[in-house]
Amino acid sequence: MGGASQGIGQAAAKLLAERGARVILLSRRIDALEAVRSGLPHPSHHKIIAMDMERIEELNLTLGRLVAETGPVSIWINNTGGPKAGPLTEATPVEMERAFRGHVMASQVILRTLLPGMKQLKYGRIINVLSTSVKQPIPNLGVSNLVRAAMAAWAKTLSQELGPFGITVNNILPGFTETPRLTSLAADAAARGSKSEEQVRKEWMDTIPLKRLADPRETAEAIGFLASPRASYISGVSLPVDGGRTGAF
Q: Which stretch binds ligand NAP (CB under 6 A): 74-82, 116-124, 160-168, 204-212?
A: 74-82
Nearest to 4 by CA among 45, 42, 53, 44: 53
Considering the complex, state which of residue 92 and residue 233 has its C-beta at the smaller distance from ligand NAP. Answer: 92
Nearest to 33 by CA among 2, 79, 77, 75: 2
Nearest to 89 by CA among 144, 137, 143, 132: 143
**Does residue 52 contact residue 28 with C-beta atoms inside 8 Å?**
yes
Residues 52-71, mask of contacts with ligand NAP (x by CB under 6 A): xxx-----------------
Smallest distance from the beta carbon of 98 to ligand NAP, in angstroms? 9
Considering the complex, state which of residue 3 and residue 224 has its C-beta at the smaller distance from ligand NAP. Answer: 3
Q: For the CA atoms of 29, 33, 34, 39, what is the dihedral angle to 10 degrees?
A: 150
Considering only residues 14, 78, 80, 124, which one is a binding residue for ligand NAP as defined by CB under 6 A?
A: 80
Considering the complex, state which of residue 99 and residue 167 has its C-beta at the smaller distance from ligand NAP. Answer: 99
Sign of CA dihedral 182, 246, 124, 63: negative
Q: Which stretch binds ligand NAP (CB under 6 A): 21-29, 156-164, 198-206, 233-241?
A: 21-29
Q: State the alpha helices, DSSP H only, in 105-231.
A: 106-121, 142-162, 180-193, 197-206, 216-227
Q: For the CA atoms of 40, 45, 51, 57, what is the dihedral angle to 10 degrees?
A: -150
Question: How far is Cα 73 from Cα 114, in angstroms, rounded to an integer?
Answer: 6
Q: Which stretch binds ligand NAP (CB under 6 A): 1-9, 16-24, 62-70, 191-199?
A: 1-9
**Does residue 83 contact residue 95 with C-beta atoms inside 8 Å?**
yes
Residues 211-230 binding ligand NAP (CB under 6 A) are none
Considering only residues 78, 107, 128, 131, which one is a binding residue for ligand NAP as defined by CB under 6 A?
A: 131
Residue 180 interacts with ligand NAP (CB under 6 A)? yes
Considering only residues 161, 164, 182, 247, which one is a binding residue for ligand NAP as defined by CB under 6 A?
A: 182
Residues binding ligand NAP (CB under 6 A)? 3-9, 27-29, 32, 52-54, 79-82, 102, 129, 131, 174, 176-177, 179-182
